[in-house]
A = this chain, B = another copy of it.
Amino acid sequence: MKKIEIYDTTLRDGAQGEGVSFSLQDKLAITERLDEIGVDYIEGGYPASNEKDSEYFRRVQEMDLKNIKVCAFGMTRRKGMTADEDPGMNALLDSGAPVVTIVGKTHDFHVTDVLRVSLEENLAMIADSIGIMVEKGREAIYDAEHFFDGWKANPDYAAQTIRTAAKAGARMVVLCDTNGGSLPEEIASLTRAAIEALEPFGVPVGIHTHNDGDLAVANALSAVDAGAQQIQGTINGFGERCGNADLISCVANLALKKKGYEVLGGDGLNHLTELSRFVYDTANVNRRNNQAFVGQSAFAHKGGMHVHAVNRASSSYEHISPELVGNERRVLVSELSGRSNIMALTTKMNIEQDRKVMDEILARVVDLENKGFQFEAAEASFELLVRKTLGTFTPHFKTMKYHVEVEDFVHQQDMELTTEATIKLQVGDQLRHEVGEGDGPIDALSTALRKALDGVFPNLKRMKLVDYKVRVVNSEAGTAARTRVQIECSDESDVWGTIGVSENVIQASWNALVDAVEYKLHKDEAASKQGTPDEVAAAN
Given contacts A303-B16, A320-B181, contact A312 B401 (CB under 8 A): no
Name which of A32-40, A93-101, A470-478, A531-539 contacts chain B.
Answer: A470-478
Shortest Cβ distance from residue A231 to the other chain B in the assembled complex, whole angstroms: 13
C-alpha gap A381/B79 in the complex (Å): 39
Q: Are B507 and A478 in contact (CB under 8 A)?
A: no
For residue A441, CB closer than 8 A to chain B, the reply is yes
User: Which of the residues B313, B474, B510 comes within 8 Å of A109, measured between beta carbons?
Assistant: B313
Cβ of A155 under 8 Å from chain B: no
- Count of chain copies: 2
If the complex has contacts A211-B292, A213-B257, are A312 and B113 also in contact, measured as CB distance less than 8 A? yes
Bound CA–CA A225/B365 (angstroms) = 45
A409 to B15, CA, bound (A): 48
- Determine if B213 and A334 form an interchain contact, defined as CB atoms under 8 angstroms apart: no
CA distance A25 to B215 in the complex (A): 34
Residue of B nearest to A149 (CB): B315
A476 surroundings in chain B (CB, below 8 A): 466
Interface code A6-34, partner B: CB below 8 Å = 1, 0 otherwise?
A: 00000000011111010000000000000
Q: Which of B306, B410, B473 contacts A399 (CB 8 A)?
A: B410
Partner of A404, one of B15, B243, B405: B405
- Interface check A433, CB cutoff 8 A: no
Give chain A interface residues in 277-305, CB to chain B under 8 Å: 281, 284, 286, 288-293, 295-303
A110 and B292 form a contact (CB under 8 A): no
Judge whether A160 is part of the interface by a CB distance below 8 angstroms: no
Assuming the contacts A18-B289, A19-B374, A309-B114, asked whether A442 and B406 have C-beta atoms less than 8 A apart, the reply is: no
- Residue A396 CB within 8 A of the other chain: no
> How distant is the Cα of A468 from the Cα of B291 in the complex, in angstroms?
26
Cβ–Cβ < 8 Å partners of A315 in chain B: 149, 179
Say yes or no for A469: interface residue by CB 8 A criterion.
Answer: yes
Knowing A399-B410, A400-B410, A440-B483 are in contact, say whether A376-B19 is a contact too (CB < 8 A): yes
Residues B504 and A110 in contact, CB atoms below 8 Å apart: no
Is A306 within 8 A of B253, CB to CB?
Answer: no
Q: CB of A240 within 8 A of chain B?
A: yes
A118 within 8 A of B: no
- Interface size of A as a range: 35 or more
Q: Bound state CA distance, A299 and B419, in angstroms?
A: 42
B439 touches A479 (CB 8 A): yes
Is the C-beta of A456 less than 8 angstroms from some C-beta in chain B? no
Are A257 and B114 in contact, CB atoms less than 8 angstroms apart?
no
User: Which chain A residues (311-362) contact chain B, with CB distance < 8 Å?
Assistant: 312-313, 315-320, 332, 334-336
Task: Write the A439-461 contact mask toward B (1 if CB under 8 angstroms, else 0).
Answer: 11111001000000000000000
Contact of A184 among B114, B184, B237, B399 (CB under 8 A): B184
Contact, CB under 8 Å: B473 / A468: no
Given A319-B212, A406-B441, A468-B464 contact (CB < 8 Å): no
Inter-chain contact A475/B110, CB cutoff 8 Å? no
Contact B419 A292 (CB under 8 A): no
Q: Which residues of B contact A505 (CB under 8 A)?
A: 440-442, 505
Within 8 Å of chain B (Cβ to Cβ): is A390?
no
> Which of B243, B284, B290 meets A17, CB within 8 Å?
B290
Known: A240-B303, A440-B505. 5 other contacts (CB 8 A): A211-B292, A214-B293, A401-B411, A405-B406, A466-B478
- Offer 29 A-B interface pairs, CB within 8 angstroms, sorted by A: A17-B302, A19-B289, A21-B334, A114-B316, A149-B315, A181-B257, A184-B218, A211-B290, A212-B319, A217-B218, A240-B301, A240-B302, A240-B306, A242-B291, A242-B292, A284-B474, A399-B408, A400-B409, A401-B409, A401-B410, A404-B405, A408-B506, A417-B504, A438-B479, A440-B504, A441-B506, A442-B479, A443-B479, A466-B476
Top-7 shortest CB links A-B: A181-B319, A218-B218, A465-B478, A214-B249, A214-B292, A470-B470, A443-B479
